[in-house]
Amino acid sequence: MTEKYIIKQLSIFSENKAGKLAAIAKIFLDTGVSIQAFNIAEANNFGVVRAIVDKPEIAFNEFAKQNYALQYTDVLAIKMKDVPGGLYEVANLLGGLGINIEYAYAFRTGAYGALIVKVTNPRAAAQKIIDAGLELLPAKDYNF
């Protein structure tokens, strides 16, 4: 029953070079896929572009067709109050539940913010988070 909260993030391998992000963004443009949240993690000479989009399958197929190395990664989006202490409330609660955040990034829309988190076991974590009284944003709001 936590399945609806599992968000399929795209993780795309990219060289750390000028123009590479534009090439990736162009594929989203050409496929008419809208980006909801976005982040780049970089290591020495490469990076991983992480994106949550409205039509992940369409984007995934086009990237694969163009020989990109990419995969889906299951992440959760935790609703945060858009007030001072909003992040503290979420982070403190996850800490208390013993849920380790591998990485996270945030976005804000209208009245509230959301923290995208990558955790080791997202389904079990989703249940714990809901049980503890926080709100998860369902995947359909982001992916479709």
Partner 1 sequence: MPYYNEKIETMPKPELVKLQYQELKKLVTRLYGTSAFYHKKMDETGVKPADIASISDITKLPFMKKTDLRDNYPDGLVCVPHEDLVRYHVSSGTTGKPTVVAYTKNDIELWSECVARSLTSCGIGRKDVLQVCYGYGLFTGGLGLHYGGEKVGATVIPASTGNSERQIELIQDLKTTCIACTPSYFIHLIDVAKKMNIDFKKDTLLRTAVLGAEPWTDAMRQYIYEQSGVVAHNIFGTSEISGPMFTDCSELNGMHICGDIAFTEIIDQNTGESLPPGEKGELTITVLKKEAIPMIRYRIGDITSILEGDCPCGRTSPRIDRLQGRVDDMLIIRGINVFPSAIEHALLKNSYLTSHFMIEVFRTGPLDDLLVKVELKPDAMTDSINGLMEMQMHTERVLRDALNVSVKIELCPPNSLPRFEGKAKRVIDHRVI
Ranges within 102-121 binding partner 1 (CB under 8 A): 102, 118
Instruction: Put residue 131 in one of left, alpha, beta given phi > 0 → left and psi -120 to 50 → alpha.
Output: alpha
Q: 47-79: buried (b, 16+ CB within 10 Å) or exposed (e) per residue? A: bbbbbbbbebeebbeebeeeebebeebbbbbbe
CA 118 centroid distance within chain: 8
Task: Find residue 97's DSSP bridge partners.
Answer: none
Does residue 21 contact residue 14 with C-beta atoms inside 8 Å?
yes
Taking contact as CB under 8 A, which single stretch among the options 31-39, 51-59, 60-68, 93-101 is the one that binds partner 1? 60-68
Taking contact as CB under 8 A, which single stretch among the options 7-15, 25-33, 90-98, 128-136 is the one that binds partner 1? 7-15
Binding mask 17-56 for partner 1 (x = CB under 8 A): ------------------------xxxxxx-x-x------
- Among 73, 91, 107, 135, interactor with partner 1 by CB under 8 A: 73
Residue 123: CB minimum distance to partner 1, A:
17
Does residue 22 contact residue 52 with C-beta atoms inside 8 Å?
no
- Among 2, 8, 11, 27, interactor with partner 1 by CB under 8 A: 11
Residues that bind partner 1 (CB under 8 A): 9, 11, 13-15, 41-46, 48, 50, 64, 67-71, 73, 102, 118
